Amino acid sequence: MKFTMLLAGLLGLLAAPGFAYTININGNSNTDGSGQQSVSINGEHNVANIDNNNGWNSWNTLWDYENSFAATRLFAKKSCIVHRMNKDAMPSLQDLDTLVKEQKVKGKGPGGAAPKDLMFSINPTKVEDLNTFGPKIAGMCQGIPTYVAEEIPDQPLYSKKCYTANILWILRMSFCGTSVETY
């Protein structure tokens, strides 16, 4: 009986709705050089988590499709940036899963259509209540300075310094600070 329960539990873990893929990022397509990105998709909780492992230039992004917010934690800046998801530019959870699987199977890197560009202006005021963004983002950004960013719809020549996060040759997000000291 115990063996049957253990076997059923293990099968349940294998059939879980979340899947993780690891893709190597090489060449000049990644602003910060070489590295590795991991994409974890959890359809049950409507969340995608993208980790970019590249030493001090590492970052982590959480896309919360349920609450329509995204957060990027910049390890070098020791901060978290929250913004509304642009559903016209960001792939749906199902499309992201398909794109990642295609890249993993084909082993393809940069090429094909150019990534979509999103540029955000960071509000210098720290967020006091993370709960307004939902429990997933509140958990990710808890304990570190968090800022809200608004998308800049028409991307003029921006004179402020920006931190760029490339997501699997699909999307390039630039977070532009209000001062050189911040970003």
Distance CA 168, CA 29 (A): 9
Entry pTM: 0.75
| pLDDT band at residue 161 using 50, 70 and 90 as cut-offs | confident
Q: What is the pLDDT of residues 104-123, one digit of tens each?
A: 655 555 555 667 889 999 99
Q: What is the pLDDT of residues 53-102, one digit of tens each?
A: 888 789 999 999 999 999 999 998 899 999 999 988 899 988 888 887 77
What's the sign of the alpha-carbon dihedral 73, 77, 79, 82? negative
Distance CA 119, CA 160 (A): 12
Closest CA to 47 of 69, 65, 74: 65
